[in-house]
Amino acid sequence: MVLKTYRQAINEALVGEMRRDADVILMGEDVAGGAGGSGEDDAWGGPLGVTRGLLSEFGSDRVLDTPISEAGFIGAAIGAAAAGLRPVVDLMFNDFVGVCFDQVVNQAAKFRYMFGGQDQVPLTIRTMIGAGLNISSQHSQSLYPVFSYFAGLKVLVPSSPYDAKGLLTSAIRDNDPVIFCEHKLLYDMVEDVPDENYSIPFGEANLLREGQDVTIVALSRMVHVATEAAAVLAREGIEADLLDPRTTTPLDTESILDSVEATGRLVIVDEAGPRCGMASDIAALVAEDGFGHLRAPIVKVTPPHVPIPAAPNLEAMYIPDVARVVEAVRRVVAY
Amino acid sequence: MPKWGMTMATGKIVDWIATEGALVDEGDELVEIETEKSVNVLETTSPGRLVRRVGQEGDELPVGALLGVLAPPGTEVSPEQIDEFVAEFNASFVPEVPETEEVKGPSRVTVDGLVIAHRHHPGGGPPAAPPLVLIHGFGGDQDSWQFNVGEIARDRPVRTVDLPGHGQSSREVGDGSTQFLAGILSAWLDEVEPGPVHLAGHSLGAAVALELASAREVLSLTLIAGLGPGTAVDRDYVEGFITAQRRRQLKPHLLRLFADERFVTRDMVETVLRAKRIESTSEALERIARASILATETEPRIRLASPPSPTQVIWGRRDQVAPSAQAEALSPPLTVEIIEGAGHMVHVETASRVNRLLRRMATVHD
């Protein structure tokens, strides 16, 4: 039983895979912690300290600091992957994908398909998602629904240290480009994480709680909001099946549909916006393939369709909270 | 209130089975108790008359609390004496602070280059009493004894261990044979418990226990749902368990381990999945299965005709993985207990009954 943070769990997955496979390299802004500047090498380990210690173990051939040019270094990582390496590249805030969108969605996502399977892109893009640090509209979005739109990308949204290590291990071993979305409010969460390497398969939802009254599907940090809500509801006698899809592509549609078949009610909790998001996607899935089992309308609990505010009081109103989830579930159960 | 499971803090009385005033014998069912993890029946451990049900149906009581009062057979007790006893008990009763799962991680020791995870439960018995060592079955871990350890530790120290390839022990399993597994456990016992021990093993663990009993001083041996090499086992179960990588694939296999499917909780499926995801686990399990479970040349009855130690065999009548008929066919010197209504995980489903059998076996052969 070893308690580790989300940050440590990610670091362990990187160390484990870099020791196992010499083709695994790291790239990104400050991942080596100031190498190339006047500061101390490996002083920080990325903007949030996730890659600390890797430069000293694996050296500057495998842990590469890059200039602040996502178009350049994401493109270089894609090229390195196509040429045979297995890069893990840090995009930092997922909001910055705007400046390297072509590289990610038109190049990396499409190579295998457009080259008739003669090339592949075993690339992992680590990136931070989520609101809650009052860092405003351009640093707080949750863009996994955008990535999930593109066939050819796999998209992971780990909600816990255990899942982060197991999913990142699978991501690095996977032969397709994977977007690994780290929620910035989860870095200090602790959990029992095995010291050994282990991998979690993609498309396997985590069932966090079993109940017969309602299905709650929640993603990333919203899993913890939903867990708290489910505990409140249980005291009122409402028992929820709580599912965390863990990966949005591939999506474990079977677990979601099976659960709704048993409960007849669905509430989806998503920190991404209400339009064209995972909540809408999952709602559409169940409306199409599980309609006959529904006993109440599907309810989405998401932020409003507005830019994310920086003011702490407004941001707090923006992010779905326990009270909203509890209220939504009461509503579908009473329907 | 018995302690079934290391983290059990309270239990709820579901149903009193014995009526007030009834004479009860050792092994009679007294009361059904629900914990966070199971529903189990508490059995009488000594004969007597149930003169008072103190806990009422629906009561949630801490571990160690007074459930009822049993008077020794042939004695007359007045209601006032019972009142006085209950008052005295309750005045001095202090519920223990439950251990949390975080602080209760196993210890690790390296033997023959392998990391072995194990736990020592000193319990409340005389520290010099020979300990009981419990060996879990295929694909499980030492926590599968969680409903047994607490009660047995009232008499004697208990040791549990994760077999190589399982739980938090190393995934190195040599050739996967029971000889290899027993060799590692023997080296582990040399390290932590060199003196004589009582042994009990479940399923694959029974095969390992039998092997160990031939190699070192074992005072008594309990084989649960397994007879060693050659035990008739459902191959589909073993192969399906090894290949299942996802919750929805694994759960149907776990359901076959129990007569009562309510035992297969979300937590259980998750715990087994987490162990199976550790690198090299499938390979380790496959190697063990091939060498120790699926190889069927041996005839267990021949070996068990002259067991290395006094031996009892315990089996669930509704075992869907290893049919109970093979245990029913055994004869003395073995004692055989077939438990109605229990499946392969008989020590979980009827913990109280199995605990009584384990305690009696060890006490008789100390």
Domains of chain B plus CATH, in order, are: 10-92 (2.40.50.100), 107-364 (3.40.50.1820)
Query: Which of these ranges, A58-62, A156-160, A294-298, has the smallest mean pLDDT?
Result: A58-62
- Give the separation between CA A141 and CA A123, rounded to whole angstroms: 22
Kindly report the CATH number that applies to the domain delimited by A206-334.
Answer: 3.40.50.920
Say whether pLDDT at B98 is over 90: no
Instruction: State whether residue A200 sits within 8 Å of chain B by CB.
Output: yes
Contact A1 B247 (CB under 8 A): no
Q: What is the structure's pLDDT at A242?
A: 98
Peptide bond into B131 cis (omega under 30): no
The pLDDT confidence band at residue B34, using thresholds 50, 70 and 90, is confident
Per-residue confidence (pLDDT) for residue B10, from 0 to 100? 86
Assign A125 to helix, strand or coil. Answer: strand
- For B347, the enclosing helix (H) or strand (E) is helix B346-349
Confidence category of residue A36, pLDDT binned at 50, 70, 90: low
Handedness of CA B335, B339, B345, B349 (dihedral sign): negative
Chain B contact for A250 (CB, 8 A cutoff): no
Q: What is the DSSP string of B86-109?
A: HHHHHHH--PPPPPPTTTTPPEEE
CATH topology of A3-192 equal to that of A206-334? yes
Q: How far is CA B135 from CA B70, B162, B363, in A?
A: 34, 8, 19
Mark yes or no for CB contact A3/B248 under 8 Å: no
Helix (DSSP H) and strand (DSSP E) numbers for chain A? 12, 14
d(CA A242, CA A213): 11
Which residue of B lies nearest to A163 if distances are taken between CA atoms? B274
Which residue among the candidates A139, A183, A224, A293 is catalytic per the annotation? A139
Q: Which residues of B touch A (CB under 8 A)?
A: 101-102, 104-106, 168, 171, 245-248, 265-266, 270, 274, 277-279
Query: Does residue A224 carry a catalytic annotation?
Result: no
Instruction: Select the residue of A199, A201, A210 nearest B246 (Cβ to Cβ).
Output: A201
Contact A1 B245 (CB under 8 A): no
A209 part of contact set with chain B, CB < 8 Å: yes
Nearest to B247 among A192, A199, A207 (CB): A207
Mean pLDDT over residues B265-290, rounded?
Answer: 94
Residue B101 confidence (pLDDT) above 50: no
**Predicted model pTM:** 0.86
d(CA A152, CA B208): 49
Output the CA angle A189-A230-B12, nearest 5 degrees: 105
Does the structure show a pLDDT above 60 at B100? no
Q: List, edge to edge, every strand of the sheet that includes B335-339.
A: B107-111, B114-121, B158-161, B132-135, B197-202, B218-224, B311-316, B335-339
Distance from CA of A25 to the nearest CA of B (A): 21
Mean pLDDT across the stretch B80-91? 89
Residue of B nearest to A3 (CA): B102
Mean pLDDT of A306-334: 97
* A1 and B CB contact within 8 Å: yes
Superfamily name with CATH number, domain A3-192? Thiamin diphosphate (ThDP)-binding fold, Pyr/PP domains (3.40.50.970)
Tell whether the model's pLDDT for residue B104 goes beyond 70.
no
Confidence of residue A86 (pLDDT cuts 50, 70, 90): very high
Return the closest-CA partner of residue B122 out of B136, B107, B112: B107
Q: Is the ipTM of this complex over 0.85?
A: yes
| Phi, psi of A86, deg, nearest 5 | -130, 75
- Segment A182-195 shows an average pLDDT of 95
pLDDT of residue B64: 87
Chain A positions in Cβ-Cβ contact with residue B101 (cut-off 8 Å): 1
The confidence score (pLDDT) of residue A39 equals: 60
Banded pLDDT at A37 (limits 50, 70, 90): low
Nearest CB to A199: which of B248, B266, B277?
A: B277
Query: What pLDDT does B41 receive?
Result: 85
What Å distances lie between residue A251 and A123, A203, A206, A244, A317, CA to CA? 20, 5, 12, 10, 29
Please state, in angstroms and as integers, the Cα–Cα distance from residue B162 to each residue in A80, A331, B127, B135, following that order. Answer: 43, 47, 23, 8
Percent of chain A at pLDDT above 90? Answer: 91
Smallest CA–CA distance from A211 into chain B, residue: B266
Mean pLDDT is lowest, of A88-92, B4-8, B331-335, for B4-8
Instruction: Summarize pLDDT for B138-181 with one digit per residue, the tens.
Output: 999 999 999 999 999 999 999 999 999 999 999 999 999 999 99
Q: Cα(B332)–Cα(B312) distance, rounded to whole angstroms? A: 10
Distance from CA of A198 to the nearest CA of B (A): 4
Q: Which residues of B touch A192 (CB under 8 A)?
A: 102
Pick from B101, B264, B266, B268 the residue to mutate for testing the A interface (most A CBs within 10 Å).
B266
Please give the residue of chain B at the shortest CA–CA distance from A166. Answer: B277
Grade residue B26 by pLDDT with cuts at 50, 70 and 90: confident
CA distance linking residue B314 with residue B357, whole number of Å: 9
At residue A40 the predicted structure's pLDDT band, cuts being 50, 70 and 90, is low
From chain B, pick out residues whose CB is under 8 angstroms from the CB of A12. none
Tell me whether A198 touches chain B (CB under 8 Å). Answer: yes
> How much is the mean pLDDT over chain B?
90
Which residues of chain A have a CB within 8 Å of the CB of B168?
194
Which pLDDT score is estimated for B93? 85
Q: Mean pLDDT of all residues in chain A?
A: 95
Closest-CA residue of B relative to A200 is B277
Q: Does A19 touch chain B (CB under 8 A)?
A: no
Percent above pLDDT 70 for chain B: 97
Q: What is the pLDDT of residue A1?
A: 64
Q: Enumerate the residues of chain A whose CB falls inside 8 A of the CB of residue B171.
A: 196
Contact call for B274 and A196, based on CB within 8 A:
no
Q: Strand locations in B123-231, DSSP E?
A: 132-135, 158-161, 197-202, 218-224
Count other Cβ atoms within 10 Å, centred on residue B366. Answer: 12
Per-residue pLDDT tens over the stretch B175-214: 999 999 999 999 999 999 999 999 999 999 999 999 999 9
Contact A197 B278 (CB under 8 A): yes
Distance of alpha carbon B268 from alpha carbon B141, whole angstroms: 11
Residue B21 has pLDDT above 90, yes or no: no
Would you list the domain boundaries of chain A?
A: 3-192, 206-334
Distance from C-alpha of B296 to C-alpha of A260, rounded to nearest angstrom: 45
pLDDT band at B58 (very low <50, low <70, confident <90, very high): confident
C-beta of residue B45 within 8 angstroms of C-beta of residue B26: yes
CB A291 within 8 A of CB A240: no
CA distance A206 to A223: 10
Q: Tell me what pLDDT residue B238 has.
A: 94
Whether the per-residue pLDDT at A291 is higher than 80: the answer is yes
For residue B97, what pLDDT band results from cuts at 50, 70 and 90?
Answer: low
DSSP for B17-70, please give it: -SPTT-EE-TT-EEEEEE-SS-EEEEE-SS-EEEEEE-S-TT-EEETT---EEE
Closest partner residue to B277 (CB to CB) among A198, A207, A258 is A198
Using a CB-CB cut-off of 8 Å, the residues of chain B touching A245 are none
The one-letter code for the residue type at A6 is: Y
Q: Which tens digits make up the pLDDT trace of B343-357?
A: 999 999 999 999 999
Whether residue B102 is predicted with pLDDT greater than 50 in this model: the reply is no
Predicted confidence at residue A31, as pLDDT, reads 86
Distance of alpha carbon B364 from alpha carbon B329, whole angstroms:
24
Q: Is the pLDDT of residue A316 over 90?
A: yes
User: What number of C-beta contacts closer than 8 Å exist between A and B?
Assistant: 40
Cis peptide before B252 (omega within 30 of 0): no
Helix (H) or strand (E) holding A93: strand A86-93
Q: What confidence score (pLDDT) does residue B88 get? A: 87
Token match 């149907």: residue?
B252
Quick: pLDDT tens for A229-268: 999 999 999 999 999 999 999 999 999 999 999 999 999 9
Could you tell me if A124 and A168 are in contact, meaning their C-beta atoms sit under 8 angstroms apart? yes
CB contact under 8 A, B101 and A3: no
**Is residue A30 scored above 80 in pLDDT?**
yes
